Amino acid sequence: MKTRQLQHLYSRVGFGMLPSVLASLSHVEKKRVVADVFKQSKEVMPLEMDLSDLELIIADKNMRSMDKKMRMELQKVSRKKVEDYNYLWIDRLATSNQVLREKMTLFWANVFVCRDTHIFHVQRFNNTLRNHALGNFRDFVKAIAKEAAMSKYLNNRQNVKEKPNENFARELLELFTLGVGNYTEKDIKEAARAFTGWSFKPNGDFYLRKKKHDYGLKTFLGKTGNFGGDDIIDIILEQKQCARFICTKIYTYFVHPTVNENRLTELADIFYKDYDITALMRHIFLSDWFYDESNVGAKIKSPIELLVGMLHIVPLNFEKKKQVLYLQKVMGQILLNPPNVAGWLQDKSWIDSNTLLFRMKLPSVLLNDAVINIDQKGAFEDSFEAYYAKTKKANRRIKVSRDWSVFDREFAGLTDTQLREFLIVSAMDKDTKRFMNTLSKVNKKEYLVQLMSLPEYQLC
C-alpha cells in the first residue's frame, strides 16, 4: 500500500501509526494489511478495574440495611471510580494493539449513548460495547437493551404494565436504530408495552418482572403479535432503514462527514443481509473509494482522537487525573459523560473560536510546560467543579511527566519534511507552508510541538 493510504487507514481504524509500522507495511498488499487489522482485534479484552472495595454496592441486602450516610459514602466512592475508569479507558485507547476494536468501542459509545455513576454498571456497559463492537448488530442491540446502565438512563426500569414509560422505546427508534420520521407515535407506545417489566439485579444481570410485563397483543410497524422486547428489535431490523441509519453513522465517522448517497446505498445493502459489523467494516477498508484523496484529512478530530493521537506519539503520565477530565471538558467531550441521549455532535461541532485556540495550544501545554490561559470551569459531576473552584489563578499548568522514548526511537531519524508529512495529512495552504519554512531550524521536539499546533493537525 502507498504511504498516504496506510496513514489514512490507520487514522480511521485507530489513532494514527508509528513510522516503524508504516515501514513494515509499505510493501504489503491492501488485503493483507486489512486482514491483519481485523486479526489483531479479534479477541475481546475487557477493560476492568479493581472494585473489590465496593462489593457492598451490588449486594442488595447490604445496601437496603445500610444507613443513609454509609450509602452516600459508597455512592461518592463509586462516582470517583467512574472518573478513574475514564482515565483507564483513555490509556487503553492510547496503548492497545486492538486498535480497531477500541476505535469501534469509542464509536458505538456515541451511538448507544448512556451515562451512569454506578461503577459496576458503567464498567459492564463499556465492556458490552467492546464485546459486540465487531459482532452482530442484532445481538448488540438486544444486549444493550438489557444493560442496567441503559435501563436506568432511559427509565426502562420504571416501565410497567400499569403505566408504560416510553423513554427507552422512543430513543431506541429515534437514536439507536431508525431515525426520526420512520415510525409513528403509536409504534412508540406499542414498543414501550413490549419492554414493560424489563429490569436488572444489583449486579447488573437482566431479569423480567413477569407481573409487570404486558403480555397482550401489540401492533408495531405493521405487525401484530404478543411481542416482547426482543421481538420489537427483530421487527426493527427487518426495516431496511435500520441498516441505512447505522451505515450513515459509520460512513460519517469512518469515511467522510458528508455522505455519498451511492456509497451509503452500497453499504446498507451489505449490512442489511445479516447485520455483520465486521463484514461491513472490512468492505469499507478494502474499497478503493475509501482511499480517495477527497476522504484523506477530511475529518476534524474529536477531542479524544486529538488527545489519544498525541499520547500515541509521546506517552504522558498525568500527576493529577482530574486534569485529564479538565482537558476533555474544555474541548467538549468527556468520556462516560455525554451531554444528552443524542450524544456528541461530530466534525465542525467540535470547533469554535475558544475550543480551536485551546486545541492548538494543547501540544505546548502537554509537551512544553505551557500554561493554560483559559479559566477552568465545568464539571464531571459536582466534584469536578469543586476541585477547580479551590483555586482562583487564571493561568494553570497541567502537571505531566513525558516519555520521549517512543518519539526518540520512531521519529528522531526523520527529516523535518518527513516528520511534517507524517503528522499533517491534510493539504496545507500557501501561508501555512511559508510559515512552516520558518520553523525548520528548531530542534526536533520543538518542531513536533509546532506541527501539532497547526490548524491542519486538527484534521485526520
Residue 405 is predicted with a pLDDT of 97
Give Cβ neighbours of residue 68 (< 8 Å, ≥ 6 apart): none
Residue 441 is predicted with a pLDDT of 66
Residue 92 is predicted with a pLDDT of 98
The tens digit of pLDDT for each residue in 87-108 reads 999 999 999 999 999 999 999 9
Is it the case that residue 112 has pLDDT exceeding 70? yes
Q: Sorting pLDDT into bands at 50, 70 and 90, what band is 230?
A: very high
Percent of the chain with pLDDT over 90: 83
- What's the per-residue H, E or C state across the chain? CCHHHHHHHHHHHCCCCCHHHHHHHCCCCHHHHHHHHHHHCCCCCCCCCCCHHHHHHHCHHHHHHCCHHHHHHHHHHHHHHHHHHHHHHHHHHHHCCCHHHHHHHHHHCCCCCCCCCCHHHHHHHHHHHHHHCCCEHHHHHHHHHCCHHHHHHCCHHHCECCECCCHHHHHHHHHHHCCCCCCCHHHHHHHHHHCCCEEECCCCCEEECHHHCCCCCEEECCEEECCCHHHHHHHHHCCHHHHHHHHHHHHHHHCCCCCCHHHHHHHHHHHHHHCEHHHHHHHHHHCHHHHCHHHCCCCECCHHHHHHHHHHHCCEEECCCHHHHHHHHHHCCCCCCCCCCCCCCCHHHHCCHHHHHHHHHHHHHHHCCCEECCCCCCCCHHHHHHHHHCCCCCCEECCEEECCHHHHHHCCCCCHHHHHHHHCCCCCCHHHHHHHHCCCCCCHHHHHHHHHCCHHHHEC
Residue 373 is predicted with a pLDDT of 56
- pTM for the whole structure: 0.94
Cα gap 406→269, rounded to integer Å: 43
Cα gap 196→433, rounded to integer Å: 61
Q: Sorting pLDDT into bands at 50, 70 and 90, what band is 61?
A: low
The tens digit of pLDDT for each residue in 34-56 reads 999 999 999 999 999 999 988 87
Q: Are strands 396-397 and 371-372 parallel, antiparallel or unpaired?
A: antiparallel
Give Cβ neighbours of residue 375 (< 8 Å, ≥ 6 apart): 394
Q: Sorting pLDDT into bands at 50, 70 and 90, what band is 67?
A: confident
The tens digit of pLDDT for each residue in 202-228 reads 999 999 999 999 999 999 999 999 999
The tens digit of pLDDT for each residue in 123-156 reads 999 999 999 999 999 999 999 999 999 999 999 9
Is it the case that residue 58 has pLDDT exceeding 60? yes
- Angle ∠(460,311,127) on CA atoms, nearest 5: 85
Match 414501550 to its residue by C-alpha cell.
192
Mean pLDDT of 288-313: 98
Is it the case that residue 428 has pLDDT exceeding 80? yes
Phi-psi region of 141 (alpha: psi -120 to 50; beta: other; left: phi over 0): alpha
